[in-house]
Amino acid sequence: MDFIRINQEKCTKCGICVDICPPRILQMEKKGPRATEIQACIACGHCVAICPNAAIDNVKTPLSGQIDLARLPVIDTETAYHYMRSRRSIRCYRSESIPRNQLLKLVDVARFAPTASNKQGISYIIVEDRKILKKATEAVIQWMEENQSNWWSFPIHIHAYREQGIDGIFHSAPNLIIATAPKDFKNGRENTILSFAYLELFANTLGIGSAWAGLFEMCAFSNYSPLLDLFKIPENKSLTGAVMVGFPKYSFKRLVDRNPLNVTWLSCDEK
How many folded domains does the chain comprise?
A: 2
- Residues across the chain: 271
Residue 269 has a pLDDT of 73
- DSSP string for residues in 29-56: ETTEEEES-GGG-----HHHHH-TT--E
CATH code at position 166: 3.40.109.10
> Mean pLDDT, the chain, as a whole number?
94
Residue 69 has a pLDDT of 85
Are residues 119 and 44 part of one domain?
Answer: no
pLDDT band at 270 (very low <50, low <70, confident <90, very high): low
- Residue 201, in any domain of the structure: yes
**Structural domain of 61:** 14-65
Are residues 169 and 228 part of one domain?
Answer: yes
pLDDT tens digits along 129-149: 999 999 999 999 999 999 988
Helix axes 130-146, 214-221, angle to 10 degrees: 70
Vertex 104: Cα angle to 100 and 106 (nearest 5): 120
- Residue 95, in any domain of the structure: yes
- Helix, strand, or coil (residue 238): strand
Phi-psi region of 190 (alpha: psi -120 to 50; beta: other; left: phi over 0): alpha
Residue 115 has pLDDT above 70, yes or no: yes
Residue 237 has pLDDT above 60, yes or no: yes
Are residues 184 and 149 part of one domain?
Answer: yes
Cα–Cα distance for residue pair 231/234, rounded to 1 Å: 9
CATH code at position 55: 3.30.70.20
Residue 73 identity: P
Are residues 201 and 109 part of one domain?
Answer: yes
Are residues 170 and 36 part of one domain?
Answer: no
Are residues 95 and 58 part of one domain?
Answer: no
Helix residue spans in the chain (DSSP H): 16-20, 46-50, 77-86, 100-110, 130-146, 154-164, 188-205, 214-221, 225-228
pLDDT band at 158 (very low <50, low <70, confident <90, very high): very high
- Helix, strand, or coil (residue 177): strand
Cβ–Cβ under 8 Å, residues 117 and 134: no
- Residue 156, in any domain of the structure: yes
Residue 3 has pLDDT above 90, yes or no: no
Residue 2 has a pLDDT of 77
Residue 246 has pLDDT above 70, yes or no: yes
Are residues 97 and 223 part of one domain?
Answer: yes
pLDDT tens digits along 208-232: 999 999 999 999 999 999 999 999 9
pLDDT tens digits along 29-82: 988 898 888 889 999 999 999 999 999 999 999 999 998 887 777 789 999 999
Residue 187 has a pLDDT of 95
Are residues 61 and 115 part of one domain?
Answer: no
- Residue 4, in any domain of the structure: no
24-28, 100-104, 219-223: which range is least confident on average? Answer: 24-28
Residue 73 has a pLDDT of 73
Percentage of residues in the chain with pLDDT exceeding 70?
Answer: 99
Nearest to 22 by CA among 130, 135, 114: 114
Cβ–Cβ under 8 Å, residues 245 and 99: no
- Residue 77, in any domain of the structure: no
Average pLDDT on 109-116 reads 95
Are residues 192 and 119 part of one domain?
Answer: yes
Are residues 215 and 94 part of one domain?
Answer: yes
Are residues 172 and 59 part of one domain?
Answer: no
- Residue 82, in any domain of the structure: no
Higher pLDDT, 33 or 246: 246
Are residues 103 and 44 part of one domain?
Answer: no
Residue 271 has a pLDDT of 54
